[in-house]
Amino acid sequence: MKRILAVGFGGMAGSLLRASVYMAVTGGLGLWIVNLVGSFLIGVAAVRLSRQSAELRLLVSTGLLGSFTTFSAFSADWFHYLESSIWWGVAFAGSMTAACVASAAAGLWVGRKGVAS
């Protein structure tokens, strides 16, 4: 039960943070910000929280950061771009995916640098 509550409380906080970013940043930039920042922080958390309790890892990674980032908005935007042009859709999906994977890799690298110090 503690693990479910950890995910729930983290998810509530993450979704509120995402909504705050969307309110502060207009246009499609909000989606890029939450997905890139969230991917980076998930990379850092994967290293930094690896020896912490399962509840803390679930709270931060699955709950907070999982709800802060958003695959559903990414998918909706992707379909919007696909409707206008297959090439815009492919460019959007490819660039967002590559950028988020690179951001998570950078987070892993930063997390490992901090642990090694």
Residues of each annotated binding site:
66, 69
pLDDT confidence tier of residue 112, bands split at 50, 70 and 90 = very high
Model confidence at 117: pLDDT above 80: no
d(CA 13, CA 4): 14
Per the prediction, the chain carries an average pLDDT of: 93
Model confidence at 47: pLDDT above 60: yes
Model confidence at 116: pLDDT above 70: no
Radius of gyration over alpha carbons of the chain, in Å?
15
Express each pLDDT in 9-46 by its tens digit: 999 999 999 999 999 998 889 999 999 999 999 999 99
Residues of each annotated binding site for Na(+):
66, 69
Closest CA to 57 of 47, 49, 65: 49
Phi-psi region of 53 (alpha: psi -120 to 50; beta: other; left: phi over 0): beta
Neighbouring C-beta atoms of residue 58, cutoff 10 Å:
23
